[in-house]
Amino acid sequence: MTGKNNVKTTENTDMEFRILEAAKDVFMEKGFAETSMGDIAARVGINRPSLHYYFRTKDRIFQAAFGMIIQKIVPKVEELVTAKEVPISERVAKLVDAYYEIFKNNPMLPLFVVREIHRDVNYIIDTVRSSPMCLTLTKVVTSLRTEMAEGKLNTVPTSVLFYTFYGAIAVPFLTKDLYERLSVEEEGTFDELLEQWKPYVVQQMDNLLRVK
């Protein structure tokens, strides 16, 4: 490969990253249905033909942008949840920190996911199945069920674990504006609320899973 081709490849990679970063923000702000290729191109600062050179359809951009977000959290989730030698409370605490970080960097993400599930749940399922997240979820669920079968964790339905954890993590971010509007000064900032909330999330999951 020539030096010129190497430069071209680097330029393409940089532009694709810019497009996906812009698309991620626009999708979260407007949702899939209300986002156009023109919106994304304008956010990047290029014209539509240039955008089509990198991504021919809005679906491809969406899947790539969604996958980029998933890739930031998926490996960490697998690493933390499947660390069987670590007490479950410690695993949950680190998992909460991981989600806090991703949601703080992408505050619209919880609302975006809920909105897209209501818009077209099958599309979201297909997108997840075509991403690395599907394999990771399988590994995580298998690891937890193995620990339950071995008597190391209480046997709890996967749906209960899912709703308990993600409900507790997502609701504060979904209602952030309400908290900041109605909270009194002594209750602290939203970031302070998250730190106060974290022990309750850990305790709830520990109560569910830890063998007494």
What domains sit in the chain, N to C, each tagged with a CATH number?
Answer: 1-56 (1.10.10.60), 63-209 (1.10.357)
Terminal-residue alpha carbon distance, the chain: 62
Q: Coil, strand, or helix at residue 170?
A: helix
Residue 1: pLDDT above 50? no
pLDDT tens for residues 105-157?
A: 888 889 888 988 898 899 888 887 877 778 888 899 999 999 999 999 999 99
Confidence of residue 7 (pLDDT cuts 50, 70, 90): very low
In a 10 Å sphere around its CB, with 0-12 CB exposed, 13-18 middle and 19+ buried, how is residue 152 labelled?
A: middle
CA 191 – CA 196 distance, rounded (Å): 9
Predicted confidence band of residue 11 (pLDDT cuts 50, 70, 90): low
Q: What are phi and psi of 153, to 5 degrees?
A: -135, 150
User: 36, 114 in Cβ contact below 8 A?
Assistant: no
| pTM for the structure as a whole | 0.82
Look at residue 40 and tell me whether its pLDDT is greater than 90: yes
